[in-house]
Structure 1
Amino acid sequence: MARTLKNPKKAKRKNKGSKKGDGASTSSSVPTIQPRVWQPGVDELEEGEELQCDSSAYNSLHAFHIGWPCLSFDIVRDTLGSDRKDFPHTVYFVAGTQAEKASWNSIGVFKVSNVSGKRRELVPTKSMEDDPDMDGESSDSEDREDEEEGGSGAPVLQLRKVAHHGCVNRIRAMTQNPHICASWADSGHVQVWDFSSHLNALAESETDGVQGASSVFNQAPLVNFRGHKDEGYAIDWSPVVAGRLVTGDCKNCIHLWEPTSGSTWNVDATPFVGHSASVEDLQWSPTEPHAFVSCSVDGTIAIWDIRLGKSPAASFKAHDADVNVISWNRQASCMLASGSDDGTFSIHDFRLLKDGNTVVAHFKYHKYPVTSIEWSPHEASTLAVSSTDNQLTIWDLSLEKDEEEEAEFKAQTREQVNAPEDLPPQLLFVHQGQKDLKELHWHAQIPGMIVSTAADGFNILMPSNIQSTLPSNGS
């Protein structure tokens, strides 16, 4: 699995303004070119061509960075409320860096506020179509509308850094106590941290701009476990039992952590062993306190019950290549998604385990390794996938192709949608613009929001056709 970031360097902001020609021709002499859908891995840019983001496809889209690239991050649950829909939004994160030197690394605890945006109608309303004043609507007027409906200006980043020796392979915040975080280091250590002081300071701060970016806090972890024989990437907190943790390494060993208090753990020295190669990812059951699943470079997925000893209760071949990532559906606990090094991802139904084949859907859209996969916390049939092909895709498995509906939509929008014919009908959205995508997460408290990290920084995105399909209050 390709896990490291290519040529890690300090991320820099880039001005992506459109290029202008060298000639003296006026805009009236430039022929109108019909926009077309870009197909990654199929289309190639010709000389003078460039990709342009269609901002109308998003309710919100922002980019930021915290210095060094981050291979892993997590969204920290906050007390600002659930099911938040009104802009601007505020989001809290933890993230671990991938710096050139081990001593330069840190864990960033940060708040991003003033995440502006607006809801967009997928199909124009009748009043908008008939209003002649709308014909000349410019991007400036759209900005003004954004300002009226959901804030304006760029997001505000406030950052506090905690020193961390070595690169952070993966980091996760506990669901029940989000100020407690666990991190996997490339040195082979697993550490548990209490970031409550940093999160409280960020919550109380109203100062604009980056805070703590130049200073690094030296803080001792609550636990520093050295029992793994190698570094690793697999780590997960139980959503059912507060403080219960599993960690897996590249030597095929999985260790169980049991909390003995709010700040201490007993780590079982005898590992769970059932894979023949590196354990790549772990996921606790969303409903059962004793069950978790693991995936491996050996191409298999194993199901474990911690009451039944150190061997898996069941194991099955999931992919023909490394199984990089898995996600257990918290809305439909019989469903598991897995992503592979060959670019494919599959949906498994545990109810079919006794029949010998758990796969109920298999997708070959991505051409390069899948680096992250996660079910939506708000809609059981929706999930997001990222890949080293620089695409983040969103899927709704409940959809089927409906030619009449497509024709009606094209007629309403009065567009000739020049989309490829062979796209899967379940593919809802393709997000591009980030290089070397590594991890994504849905925001559990803001429906429709996804955050992703890549070699060139973070993106916060809210596609307009995703948020519109999510259930409303009381539904």
Structure 2
Amino acid sequence: MIEFGNLSFDIVWDSLGLVRTAFHHTVYCVAGTQAEQSSWNSITIFKLARISGKRRDLVPKSTGDDDEEEEDDDSSSSDEGEEDEENDEKQLPVLLTRKVAHEGGVNRIRAMSQNPHICASWADTGHVQVWDFSTHLNALAESETQASNGASTAISQAPLVKFGGHKDEGFALDWNPFVPGRLVSGDCKNSIHLWEPSSGATWNVDPIPFTGHTASVEDLQWSPTEANVFASCSVDGSIAIWDIRIGKTPAGSIKAHKADVNVISWNRKATCMLASGSDDGSFSIRDLRYFKEGDSLVAHFEYHKHPITSIEWSPFEPSTLAVSSSDNQLTIWDLSLERDEEEEAEFRTRMKEQANAPEDLPPQLLFVHQGQKDLKELHWHSQIPGMIISTAADGFNVLMPSNVESTLPAAEA
């Protein structure tokens, strides 16, 4: 687990391999600050290299008399284990950063998958800006060992575009996965604007917004199969589906939660599934094939007791998703699992006195991560199966739970 600062962030697509399974890992990200004074804010472009990992036993081995017979076997591998530990210590993770000054706090930041050096940021000043970070990413790629000073002064750089047509600040932002440069941005005054790329590094932003929600647009997600379709969620408790070819009103809308809908995630593997997280701590899964009929609800969970702050489907496993909440927990769920009472009884017998697990945990709950304060955002790495990066008020975490395994075959990095 690695930790350092910032709030909204995104993982930058890189050229190190499509499906990387062998340690050590390297990741690139962009992250934004929300500082006390507007002039203190910045975007950090960073590279985290030499990420290593160790598999830990789910149930620690006891140290009773029964283990004496295994002592010889354990000692035969102890020297090898100590050697691995020494090698890990010699190759500690390396963090390299570049900072760019940003006007106002960064509510949300997103990197374009087709052109990863292009990023969009939502500022609390009410502006949406598009940036070219190619110089910084190239500099980080060329450096392997020299970590920059985290407190270094941010450089000044002009954005490619600065749009001030929104009537208020916002949080919703998403790049289109099919049309490079196509972008949607939503604000706290219930308006959504469409950005279309133009010749050169410019964009045409439609001044007439998409409207249909009655309150703040909290999140936006383009369809993983349709270049002209996107979904939105709102403080009004609804989820809407839009088609940019048929006008500025929703193609369909439903009341999804009793409270604000904070976040949504469209499943890239099972593309009919949409997940949503609410301010009341609940999250739901819907099958969009039955969206208009009003009976699209597939599953509803109320495990978390505080607002859901982020939700995202795994890019490798169609039934797996991760959720973060203001209750300081990050959870991973596998919707394909069902309760197995015999297996549960066996597990509890193995655990004995080492843990006192609640009796009413949902069988779909795979993993719980605690320790971060005020969790804000999480993302699966699209090129490293099982890796999740999360951010909170007290720093970043990089984790790879051993019980979240991809079924994909191993591939070279």
Asked whether the equivalents of residues 94 and 145 of structure 2 are also in contact (C-alpha less than 8 Å), the reply is no
Q: Which amino acid aligns with 1:101?
A: Q
Q: Which residue of 2 aligns with 1:471?
A: 408
Within the alignment, does 1:106 sit opposite 2:46 as a pair? Answer: no
Q: Which residue pairs with 1:131 in the alignment?
A: 70
7, 10, 16: which one aligns with 1:80: 16
CA distance in structure 2 between the partners assigned to 1:377 and 1:79 by the alignment: 17
Report deviation, 1:471: 3.0
- 2 CA distance for matches of 1:171 and 1:163? 14
Question: What residue identity is the alignment partner of 1:132?
Answer: E
Name the stretch that deviates more: 373-382 or 352-361: 352-361
Code of the residue aligned with 1:219 in structure 2: it is Q
SS of the residue 1:200 aligns to? helix
Structure 1 residues without counterparts, runs of 5 or longer: 1-60
Give the structure 1 partner of residue 4 of structure 2. Answer: 64
Distance apart, 1:369 and its partner CA: 0.2
Alignment of structure 1 residues 102-251 onto 2, 5 Å: 102-120=38-56, 131-133=70-72, 144-146=83-85, 154-211=92-149, 213-251=151-189
- The one-letter amino acid of 1:240's match is F
Q: Which residue of 1 aligns with 2:28?
A: 92
Give me the whole-angstrom Cα distance separating, in 1, the residues matched to 2:91 and 2:322: 28
Secondary structure, aligned partner of 2:136: helix
Q: Which amino acid aligns with 1:365?
A: Y
Change (3 A) 1:458 1:142: farther
Structure 2 Cα separation of the partners of residues 388 and 138 of structure 1: 43
Higher mean alpha-carbon deviation, 315-324 vs 86-95, is at 86-95
Mapped to 2, the partners of 1:179 and 1:210 lie a distance apart of: 20
- SS in structure 2 at match of 1:103: helix
Comparing 192-201 with 407-416, greater Cα deviation is found at: 407-416
Aligned partners of 1:359 and 1:115: how far apart in 2?
Answer: 39
Using the alignment, how far apart are the partners of 1:324 and 1:140 within structure 2? Answer: 50
Deviation at 1:273, TM superposition (A): 0.1
Sort the Cα spacing of 1:152 and 1:369 in 2 relative to 1 into closer, same or farther, 3 A.
farther
Contact in 2 for aligned 1:348/1:361 (Cα 8 Å): yes
Aligned residue in 2 for 1:418: 356
Q: CA deviation at 1:130?
A: 5.8
Q: Is contact 1:76-1:178 (8 Å) kept?
A: yes
For 1:353 and 1:241, the matched residues in 2 are separated by 25
Aligned CA distance change for structure 1 residues 333 and 145 (closer, same or farther; 3 Å): same
Instruction: Tell me the distance in 1 between the aligned counterparts of 2:311 and 2:403.
Output: 19
The change in CA–CA distance for 1:124 and 1:262 in structure 2 (over 3 A counts) is farther
Q: Deviations over 1:89-134 (max 9, x none)?
A: 1110100011111001100001011111134565899xx9963146
Q: Secondary structure at the match of 1:431?
A: strand
Aligned pairs (5 A) from 1:4-19? none
RMSD (CA atoms): 2.5
Which amino acid is the alignment partner of residue 396 of structure 1? D
Q: 2:271 is matched by which residue type in structure 1?
A: S
Measured in 1, the distance between the counterparts of 2:68 and 2:349 equals 13
Gap regions ≥5 residues in structure 2:
62-66
Structure 1 residue 207 displacement after superposition: 3.0
Q: Deviations over 1:206-255 (max 9, x none)?
A: 23322574132111000000000000000000111111100000000000
TM-aligned CA deviation for residue 364 of structure 1 = 0.2
How far is the alpha carbon of 1:62 from its aligned partner? Answer: 2.0
Give the 3 Å change call, closer, same or farther, for CA 193–158 of structure 1 in structure 2: same
User: Which is further off, 210-219 or 453-462?
Assistant: 210-219
SS in 1 for 2:290: helix
TM-score calculated relative to the size of structure 2: 0.92
Structure 1 95/388 Cα, relative in aligned 2: closer, same or farther at 3 Å? same
Bigger Cα displacement from structure 2, 280-289 vs 399-408? 399-408
Aligned-pair identity (%) = 71
Contact 1:279 1:296 in 2 (8 A): yes
If the length of structure 1 is used for normalisation, what is the TM-score? 0.80
Equivalent position amino acid for 2:10 in 1:
D
CA change 1:460–1:353 in 2 (3 A) is same
Asked whether the 8 Å contact 1:117–1:151 carries over to 2, the reply is no
The alpha-carbon deviation at position 173 of structure 1 amounts to 0.1
Which of residues 278, 296, 310 in structure 1 aligns to 2:234? 296
C-alpha separation in 2, matches of 1:286 and 1:420? 37
Which among 338, 344, 352 is matched to residue 290 of structure 2? 352
Contact 2:21 2:410 in 1 (8 A): no
Offset at 1:189? 0.3
1:331–1:280 CA distance, 2 compared to 1 (3 A): same
Q: Distance in 2 between matches of 1:265 and 1:360?
A: 39
SS in 2 for 1:338: strand
- Contact kept? 1:117, 1:146, Cα under 8 Å: no
Structure 2 counterpart SS, 1:162: strand
Letter in structure 2 aligned against 1:352: Y
